[in-house]
């Protein structure tokens, strides 16, 4: 005789669900901590004395703590604050410019009523696959646009991102229904009013996502400053930190050539200063990330499940 199948009660199902949720929560917590651990380690090293680093190496619990790395950077405080201000200005204004250009371009090619949407979509894809190269970009920025040693040289090269345009185009096609646009047109609304009053409120998650991408690009950019900026008052933070790093390496290489270099190197906490520079460059953008996280996750996953 066949044995009757054992039925699983709803209590057992809920119990299994709670256990599986607990397991995955613990697993994700471990993964999140492993991602955060390198940043914590860098902060600890930046607060470790140079003598402890030379004697014991990198440790989570150093014998001697010190602020020498930050104190060395504080000696150039005026230049550092100026570079930080330039970076913040370029990041904020550049992100606004990038989000504006990207969202308007993507909205245009996402609408079936736009006659030339295929041409501009292919044009965007071509610029994403093929680049003119560094020489052509340099000639355009310096000779044609005359933007060398201006703040625009740090903003315009990253003002439009083809990848972000494709992301926003997909977002607009999935989330902004054509019937809403048609209803607004019947009521007499123009294209600009439709975009500002109807489309933008629906597109906040997508715009927040591309804004985060753009802000990271502007904050970490130092190459454009290397190419186009010679004025010390327009140097961004990342480029200034790279110059400080280069100066420390130069002093290290020349330390064996004379007592003057050796004495100078003895007063510079090399490893702690390097890690302090990493903390200064990473911490502000890491702190701002949680404010975008809600929109960032929604912007990436929206449209994945049809409601």
Secondary structure (DSSP) of the chain: -PPPPPPPPHHHHHHHHHHHHHHHHHHHHHHHHHHHHHHHHHHHHHTB-HHHHHHH-S-SS-SSB--HHHHHHHTTHHHHHHHHHHHHHHHHHHHHHHHHHHHHHHHHHH-TT-TTHHHHHHHHHHHHH----HHHHHHIIIIIS--TTSTHHHHGGGS--HHHHHHHHHHHHHHS-HHHHHHHHHTT--HHHHIIIIIHHHTHHHHHHHHHHHHHHHHH--HHHHHH---GGG--HHHHHHHHHHHHHHHHHHGGG-HHHHHHHHTS-HHHHHHHHHHHHHHHHHHHHHHHHHHHHHHHHTTSS--
* pLDDT of amino acid 94: 92
Residue 274 near residue 248, CB atoms below 8 Å: yes
- Residue 101's pLDDT is what? 92
The predicted pLDDT at position 4 comes to 52
Name residues whose C-beta falls within 8 Å of residue 216's C-beta, 6 or more positions apart in sequence: 285
* HEC letters along 141-160: HHHHCCCCCCCHHHHHHHCC
Q: Could you give the percent of the chain with pLDDT greater than 70?
A: 82
Residue 163 confidence class, pLDDT cut points 50, 70, 90: confident
CATH architecture of the domain 69-301 equals: Orthogonal Bundle (1.10)
Least confidently predicted of 25-34, 109-118, 136-145, 277-286 = 277-286
Tokens of 91: 């990041």
Q: Find the mean pLDDT for residues 1-17.
A: 55
When the pLDDT of each residue in the chain is averaged and rounded to a whole number, the result is: 79
Span 196-210, mean pLDDT? Answer: 83
Question: Among positive and negative, which fits the CA dihedral 169, 171, 177, 181?
Answer: negative
What is the rounded average pLDDT of the residues 67-77? 77
- pLDDT, residue 305, reads 40
Reported confidence tier of residue 218, pLDDT bands at 50, 70, 90: very high
Query: Is the pLDDT confidence value at 149 over 50?
Result: yes
pLDDT classification of 288: cutoffs 50, 70, 90: confident
Mean pLDDT of 212-229: 88
Mean pLDDT value of segment 171-180:
80
pLDDT tens, 91-112? 999 999 999 999 999 988 888 8
Rounded mean pLDDT, 275-302: 70
Which pLDDT does position 28 carry in this prediction? 85
pLDDT at 16 over 70: no
């Amino acid at each position: 005789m066949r044995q009757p199948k054992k039925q699983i009660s709803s209590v057992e199902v809920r119990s299994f669900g709670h256990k599986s949720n607990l397991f995955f929560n613990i697993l994700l917590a471990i993964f999140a901590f492993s991602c955060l651990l390198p940043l914590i380690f860098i902060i600890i090293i930046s607060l470790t004395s140079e003598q402890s680093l030379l004697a014991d190496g990198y440790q989570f619990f150093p014998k001697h703590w010190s602020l020498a790395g930050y104190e060395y950077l504080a000696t150039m405080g005026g230049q550092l604050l100026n570079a930080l201000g330039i970076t913040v200005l370029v990041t904020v204004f550049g992100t606004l410019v990038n989000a504006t250009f990207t969202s308007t371009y993507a909205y245009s090619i996402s609408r079936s009523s736009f006659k030339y949407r295929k041409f501009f979509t292919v044009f965007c894809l071509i610029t994403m696959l093929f680049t003119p190269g560094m020489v052509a970009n340099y000639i355009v920025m310096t000779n044609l646009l005359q933007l060398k040693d201006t703040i625009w040289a740090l903003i315009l090269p990253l003002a439009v991102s083809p990848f972000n345009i494709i992301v926003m185009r997909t977002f607009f096609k999935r989330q902004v229904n054509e019937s809403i646009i048609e209803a607004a047109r019947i009521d007499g609304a123009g294209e600009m009013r439709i975009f500002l009053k109807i489309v933008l409120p629906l597109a906040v998650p997508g715009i927040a996502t591309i804004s985060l991408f753009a802000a990271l690009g502007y904050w970490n950019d130092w190459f454009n400053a290397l190419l186009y900026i010679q004025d010390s008052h327009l140097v961004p933070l990342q480029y200034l930190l790279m110059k400080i790093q280069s100066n420390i390496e130069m002093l290290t290489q020349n330390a064996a050539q004379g007592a003057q270099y050796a004495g100078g190197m003895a007063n510079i906490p090399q490893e702690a200063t390097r890690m302090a520079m990493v903390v200064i460059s990473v911490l502000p953008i890491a702190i701002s990330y949680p404010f975008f996280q809600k929109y960032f996750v929604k912007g990436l996953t929206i449209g994945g499940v049809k409601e």
